[in-house]
Amino acid sequence: MKAHTRETQATMTPQKSLQYLKEGNQRFQNNLKANRNLLEQVNDTSDGQFPFATILSCIDSRVSAELVFDQGLGDIFSVRIAGNFVNEDILGSMEFASKLAGTKLIVVLGHTSCGAVKGACDDAKLGNLTAMLSKIKPAVNAVTEPSDISKRNSKNLEFVDNVSHMNVKLTIDRIHAESPILSEMEKNGEIMIIGAMYDINTGEVTFFE
């Protein structure tokens, strides 16, 4: 499989880009990697890059977007931060990726058993981590079940995963609210912004469609 070029990137639509990621995740689950020569892709991308998707995911070592979607060099922009939330810098990076570099799809990828979400559920305090986890607290508060305070913590993995799911949705809401550029591009059909969850037990990515 060759690295994307300006010409192949131009043929990508938001829906086609999504399909590429779905097919890549299916290959990953079946342990059937696409045939790539990564050193050849290094050479092919030395003069430029033409990715088709931008993926915001967690720093979790088990959730590498390139691996779980079976993509090669030059295929995707990968933005990683604990808890996969957005801030001004990340939104700026997404705007660059979409408006200037031509990606057709933005994916906000959460995952099961997320450590950052667990920390937010437990209201953990530790240096700069305290401020970071505060970005995830709105998702914790938005999940109303269970109401029993003793079950609203990291020991309740169902609650944790529901918060992760909500965090993805609220992150997309923030993208729409805080980036007029990306919102306008999506409204015009130039890009798609979509959420997804990765299951660390199975390797499956479920998109919010």
Binding residues: 58, 60, 111, 114
DSSP characters over 170-182:
HHHHHHHHH-HHH
Annotated binding site for Zn(2+): 58, 60, 111, 114
Ranges of beta strands (E only) in 63-208 are 76-80, 105-111, 192-198, 205-207
Strand partners, 134: none
In angstroms, the first-to-last Cα distance of the chain is: 28
* Nearest by Cα to 17 from 97, 126, 120, 113: 97
* Nearest by Cα to 114 from 172, 30, 198, 202: 198
Cα 29 to Cα 194: distance, rounded to the nearest angstrom: 21
Give the distance from CA 143 to its chain's centroid.
21
* Nearest by Cα to 110 from 67, 164, 148: 164
Cα 120 to Cα 126: distance, rounded to the nearest angstrom: 11
